[in-house]
Amino acid sequence: MDHIKSNLSQRILLFTILLISVLSNPVSAQEMNEMWGKQSNKTRLASKESESVKLFRDGNYGLFLHWGLYSHLEGKWNGKTYYGIGEWIMHPSMAGIPVDDYMASAANFNPVNFDAEKIVKLACDAGMKYIILTAKHHEGFAMFHSEADSFNIVDATPFDRDPLLELSRECQRQGIGLGFYYSQSQDWTAPGAIKGPKTDKNGNEVSFDDYFYRKCLPQVTELCTKYGPISLIWFDTPGNISMDQVLELYNTVKKYQPDALISGRIGHNMGDYRTLGDMEIPSANAEGLWEACDVINDTWGYNWFDKNWKTPKEVVTNLLSTVARGGTYLLNVGPAGDGSMPREAVYSLEKAGEWIKRYPQVVYGSGASPWGKALPWGDAVVADSSLYLLVFDMPVDNTLYLHGLKNRVESMNLLNGDMATPVTWENNGDWLKVNVPAAAQGDDYVNVIKVELDGNEAKADTALFLSPNSPVKYGVEFATASDSHPGYHNWKEKFGEWKHAHFINKWGENGKSTWEVEVMEPGYYQVELEYSGEKRVVWRVTLDNDADSSFIQNQQGALPAYMFKPIGWIYLPAGRQSLSVSLVEGNRDITALRSIRLSPVK
Ligand code: FHN
C-alpha cells in the first residue's frame, strides 16, 4: 500500500514538474533529450510549424559566411603561409599567434568593401534561402557592436560599422532569413573560456563561468535582441560545457527569438536540428531535420592560396545529393579581408543559381529519393506527387536503367526550363529502360526528367543495381561485413579540412564484405576496389551464388590514402548476385576497404 502511495505521489510530483515546465516555457533537459531521442525531431517540429522550420526544411539551401578578423590575415602570419582552415590561423596547431598580437592586429582590419546589399543579392540569385554569419568564432572577435566585450569590429578596428546590422537590414529588405554562428565554448582570447587565457589582465584566475556569464550569454542576448528576427542560431564545438549552461543558452535564445531554430552543436545532444560533420554529405537517406555543411573551396575562413573552388556543377550536384538524402545544404564562402566575396565563388554560386531557377521544384520542398541512396548515373527526388530523375552523368547512349520502381509510370518528360520533351520507356520485369531522345536539348549540369506516377507515393526496392551502360560505385556501408570490422572515420589532410569514409578492416581468416546486387544484363564487368593500407595486398572477389564459385584474385599495391586499383574482369549472370570481397594476403588489421566499382565491359 505504502509502495502504491509513494508511486502515486511520485507521479503527481512528476506531472506537476512537467506542467510547471510547460507553462513557464523554458525547456528542461528531459524534454530536450526526448526531442532528440524517442521521437524524430521532424515530428516534434511539425506540430509547431514555424517560419524558420519551413525555411530550413523546404528552403533546403543556405549561405554560410565565415568572416572575421582572421579573414584579413588570409592564412599568413609574419610572412609565412599556414595551409589549413583560415579561421584557425591563431591556434598553436597553425601559426600560434600570441593573444595580444592577434588582438592588436584588429587595428589593421578595415573591410571597406563589405557590401551587405551585394552579398544578400548574391545569396538570393544563388537560390539560397538564408544566410548565417559568424558573429563570433573561436578566436573571440565579435563581428557586431557588442556592449559586453570591446574586442569587436566597431570598437577595435578603424571600420566603425556593424556588419551584422547591415546584413540583418538587407536580409529583411530582400526577404531572406538571417542566422548567426556563435562559438559558445571556445574563445581563445577571452579569459576562462575553453582554450582561452587562464587569468584575466590583472593576473587573477578565471573560470569558464566567468567567461560564460561575462561574455557568452550577454553577447548571445545582444544578438537575439538587436538584430530583428533571427531564423537560425548555429552554435559550434560545445566541448565540455555543462548541461545547465546549454539549457540557459537555449532558453535565452527562445525567450527573445522563439521562432529561431538552434543547431544541434549547442551541446548535450540538444538543439532543434542535427548538423552532420564538416564537409560531410551522407550516402544513405537520413530521417528528421538535418543539415550538411560544406565549403565552396577547402576552407571556411578566407585563405589567399585556396583556389580549389567547387564548380557550378559540383555545387548543384552536392545540393541535390543532400536534398535527395532528406537534408538541407549549407554552403560556406569565406569573404576576403576587405569584405568582398571571392570572384570564383560568386561565379559558381551564380551559375548554380541560374540552374536552380530553371528547376526550383527539385530543390525547394522536395523529398528524399525512394531508392534511399544515389543512383548509378545521378539521383532522384520526389515533389508534387511526381518523381524527378536527376541525371548527373548521362550515359553515352542516352539510356538510363532503373531497378525496382514500385509505381506504374504514366508519363516521362525531359525538362529544359519550361520546355518538356517526351521521353519513352520500356518495362522489363523489375527494370525500367528510359530512352532519352538524343536530339533533345537537356541541361549542362544536370538533366531533369519528370516522371508522372500512378498517383501513389513513389516507392522503390532499395536493392543495389548495376547499370549495363555506366560504371557504378558502392561503398561498404551498403555491404554486409562478416569476420571483419565495419567502421566510419574522419581525418584531415590539410589542417581542419575533414574527409569522411565508411570502411571495413581487421579481416579475419573468413573475413568478407558482401554486396547483394541486381544485374540486368549478363556480361563481363571490370572490378576496381578502393582501399588504403601498406605495401602489397592480394584481394579476392567471389561470386557467392554461382555454381562454379567463380572468382578473381589479384595483387596490387596499397598506400595510406584511399585509392582505386583494378582487380580484373568478372562475369556476372542476370538476377540478384552476391559479390564478396576478401583479403587473401596483406596487413589484416589496417587494410581498409572503402568501395567497389563495377564497370560494364563493352
Ligand atoms: O572549428 C570549427 C571550424 O572552424 C568551422 O567553423 C566549422 C564549421 O562547421 N566548425 C568547427 C569544426 O567543426
Least reliable range by pLDDT among 15-24, 93-102, 427-436, 488-497: 15-24
Ligand 1 centre distance from Cα of residue 278 (Å): 7
pTM, full prediction: 0.92
For a pocket test of ligand 1, which of 64, 89, 278, 328 has the largest count of ligand atoms closer than 8 A to its C-beta?
278
Tell me what the mean pLDDT of segment 367-380 comes to: 97
Residue 133 CB–ligand 1 contact under 6 Å: no
Residue 198's CB is within 10 A of a number of other CB atoms, namely 10
In sign, the C-alpha dihedral spanning 450, 453, 458, 460 is negative
Hey, what amino acid is at 292? A
| Grid cell at residue 283 | 550516402
Per-residue pLDDT at 7 exceeds 80: no
Helix, strand or coil for residue 62? Answer: strand
Confidence band for 26, pLDDT divided at 50, 70 and 90: low
Per-residue pLDDT at 15 exceeds 50: no
Confidence band for 21, pLDDT divided at 50, 70 and 90: very low
Residue 358's CB is within 10 A of a number of other CB atoms, namely 16
Per-residue pLDDT at 30 exceeds 50: no
Distance CA 577, CA 564 (A): 22
Residue 85 CB–ligand 1 contact under 6 Å: yes
Residue 293 CB–ligand 1 contact under 6 Å: yes
Pick from 272, 253, 260: which is nearest to 230 by CA? 260
Residue 497 CB–ligand 1 contact under 6 Å: no
Using one digit for the tens of pLDDT, what is the confidence trace for 466-475?
A: 999 999 999 9
Using one digit for the tens of pLDDT, what is the confidence trace for 510-536?
A: 999 999 999 999 999 999 999 999 999
CB 459 within 8 A of CB 370: yes
Residues whose CB falls within 8 Å of the CB of residue 331, separated by 6 or more in sequence, listed in order: 61, 62, 63, 64, 128, 293, 294, 295, 296, 315, 318, 319, 349
Tell me what the mean pLDDT of segment 152-157 comes to: 98
pLDDT of residue 16: 31
For a pocket test of ligand 1, which of 237, 276, 294 has the largest count of ligand atoms closer than 8 A to its C-beta?
237
Distance CA 89, CA 95 (A): 6
Residue 278 CB–ligand 1 contact under 6 Å: yes
- The atom number, within ligand 1, closest to the CA of 181 reads 6
Residue 130 CB–ligand 1 contact under 6 Å: no
Using one digit for the tens of pLDDT, what is the confidence trace for 386-436?
A: 999 999 999 999 999 999 999 999 999 999 888 999 999 999 999 999 999
Confidence band for 27, pLDDT divided at 50, 70 and 90: low
Burial class (CB in 10 A: 0-12, 13-18, 19+), 55: buried
> What totals of helices (H) and strands (E) does the chain contain, helices first?
12, 30
Helix, strand or coil for residue 181? Answer: strand
CB 46 within 8 A of CB 119: no
Helix, strand or coil for residue 315? Answer: helix
Ligand 1 centre distance from Cα of residue 257 (Å): 24
pLDDT of residue 48: 52
| Grid cell at residue 19 | 506542467
Per-residue pLDDT at 222 exceeds 60: yes
Question: DSSP E strands: which ranges in 272-350?
Answer: 274-275, 290-295, 328-333
Ligand 1 centre distance from Cα of residue 480 (Å): 33
Name the CA dihedral angle for 436, 437, 438, 439, rounded to a multiple of 10 degrees. Answer: -140
The alpha carbons of the chain give a radius of gyration, in whole angstroms, of 27
Which residue's CA is the closest to the ligand 1 atom numbered 13?
Answer: 278
Ligand 1 centre distance from Cα of residue 483 (Å): 36
